[in-house]
Structure 1
Amino acid sequence: MVWQVQMFVQNSLANGRMKPKHRKGVQMRIAFPSHAGIRRSRPLVMPIKWIPPDEPWVKLNTNGAFFEETSKAGGGRIVQDHAGKVLAAFATPLEAHSAFEAEHLVIHHGLVIASEFRLTIWVESDAAQTVRLLNGPDWGPAHLCRIMALLANHKCNFTIRASFIHREGNKPTYLAKMGLNGVDFQRMNGCSLPRHLKAMARLDEMGVPNLRIQEED
C-alpha cells in the first residue's frame, strides 16, 4: 500500500498536479505492528454434484442412521435412472445396532428394490468405509458377516459398482431420518416424494450442484 502512495506522489509531482510545498513536512515510512495479527480461518466451499449413471445403469443412493440414546436405526434409499428420474424411494426402520451396520443393511434392502428396474446397479453412499467393503473382497467385522453374505449374494446376481459421495449430495440422508423416526416401511415414487426431496431430485436432473462448507484447517 505504501509503495502505491509513493507512486501517486511521484506521478503527481512529475505532471505538476502536486507542488513540493504540498508535501512539506510529510515523510513516507512503513509502520510495522508490534505483534502478529490473528489469522482467522475461512470457510472452504466445495460444489457437490450428483452424477447420473450411464444407460442402462440405475443409481441407488443410500443412507443409514443410528441413534444411540434410543438404540433406534433407520435407513433411506432412492433409485434414479440415467436421466435423474426417480424410479423409487424408501424410508424404513432397521434392526441394527450401529450406524455402520445400518449403512450395510440399507444397501441390502435397496439392492432388492433396485433389481426390479435393472440388474446393473451403481450404489452411492456417504459412508466411505462401507463403500470400500462393498468394492473389496473383505467382509469386515464379525458382526457384519450375515449382512456381508447377503451383499456377496447380490454381487453374484447383479453387476454392482459402488462410489462415495459427500453427505450434501446424498438425498437419502433425509429419508434415513424419516425411517429413524417412523414405525413402518414407506415406499414412494417421484410423485409422492416429500416436497424438499422432490425439489432436490429436480435440481439433480438440471445438473445443479449442492454446496459443502467446511472450516479451513
Structure 2
Amino acid sequence: MALWWGWKWRCGNVFGVNGKCRDRVRFVKDLAREVTEAHLSQSQPQERPIRVERMISWTAPPEGWVKVNTDGASHGNPGKATAGGVLRDETGGWMVGFALHIGVCSAPMAELWGVYYGLYLAWERRATRVELDVDSEMVVGFLTTGISDTHPLSFLVRLCHGFIARDWIVRISHVYREANRLADGLANYAFSLRLGFHLLESVPSCVASVVLDDVRGTAISRQVCI
C-alpha cells in the first residue's frame, strides 16, 4: 500500500492533481492498520446463524391506527410488473384495497409504487396513524435511511417521503412474506387486470380466504435465522 500510494502521489505531483494530505506517513500507517484489522476480523471463524421455526401471522394495528400492507411483483427484473395493497383497521376489517398493473419495470420499483399508492389511499381516507408493513428489506431501507439522489429510484423514494413527512404518524416495518399474504395476493391479482390503477372497495374473491385467515390470526410456519 505504501508503494501504491507513493506512486499515486508521484503521478499527482507530475500532473498537478494531488489533494492536501498533512502527514502522508501517518495516512499510510492508519490505512494499513484498518486493512489489517479488517483482514483479521474476516479470518476469524464465524458462528453460523441458528435457524429456528417460527409461526408468522398478520398482526392488527393498535386501536385508532390503520394497517397498510403493500407488495410488488415482477415476472423478471425488469419484467412485467404489478403492485397491490390494502388498508385495514384494528379489527382486521377491510377498508380499501388496490391493484396496480404497471407494465414493465424492476421488482424494487414495483414495491415502491405499491408503497406510494398505499400511503396515498391512507392519506385520502384521512388516517392520522399508520403502520406500513413491507416485505422488502431493501425498500424499507430506502424509506427509513434514504437513498442517493443519483439512484434510478430516487424520484419514487422522494414521492413516498413526501407523504411520510406530512402531518400524521407513519411507522414503517419490515415483515415476512407470510405476514403480507394479502398484499401479495392483490399484486398477483393485478396481472389479470388491464394496465393502470384499480381501486378495490370490496374484497376480491381471489383473496377472500386470506382476509379470513388474517382476521382469525392463522399463522404459517417459517424457518428464520437468529
Same fold (TM over 0.5): yes
- The structure-2 alpha-carbon separation of the partners of 1:182 and 1:54, relative to structure 1 and needing over 3 Å to count, comes to same
The 8 Å contact of residues 56 and 82 in structure 1, kept in 2 or not, is answered as yes
The 8 Å contact of residues 94 and 203 in structure 2, kept in 1 or not, is answered as no
Of 155, 170, 176, the match for 1:160? 170
* CA apart distance, 1:204: 1.7
After the TM superposition, which residues 76-87 of structure 1 pair with which residues of structure 2 at under 5 Å, given as runs?
A: 76-87=84-95
- The structure-2 alpha-carbon separation of the partners of 1:96 and 1:112, relative to structure 1 and needing over 3 Å to count, comes to farther
Between Structure 1 and Structure 2, how many residues are aligned?
171
* CA apart distance, 1:78: 0.9
Equivalent residue number for residue 198 of structure 2:
186
The 8 Å contact of residues 133 and 140 in structure 1, kept in 2 or not, is answered as no
- Amino acid in the other structure paired with 2:198: Q
1:173 paired with 2:172, answer no
Structure 2 unaligned runs (5+)? 1-50
The 8 Å contact of residues 78 and 107 in structure 2, kept in 1 or not, is answered as no
Structure 1 unaligned runs (5+)? 1-42
After the TM superposition, which residues 1-150 of structure 1 pair with which residues of structure 2 at under 5 Å, given as runs?
A: 45-68=53-76, 71-94=79-102, 97-117=105-125, 118-139=127-148, 142-150=151-159
> Which has a greater percent of helix?
2
* CA apart distance, 1:119: 2.8
Distance in 2 separating the partners of 1:186 and 1:208? 28
Range with bigger deviation, 198-207 or 150-159: 198-207
Range with bigger deviation, 91-100 or 55-64: 91-100
Equivalent residue number for residue 15 of structure 2:
none
* CA apart distance, 1:70: 8.1
SS at match of 1:177: helix
* CA apart distance, 1:208: 2.2
- Amino acid in the other structure paired with 1:109: Y
State the identity %: 25
RMSD: 2.4
Distance in 2 separating the partners of 1:101 and 1:211? 29
SS at match of 1:115: helix
Equivalent residue number for residue 151 of structure 1:
160
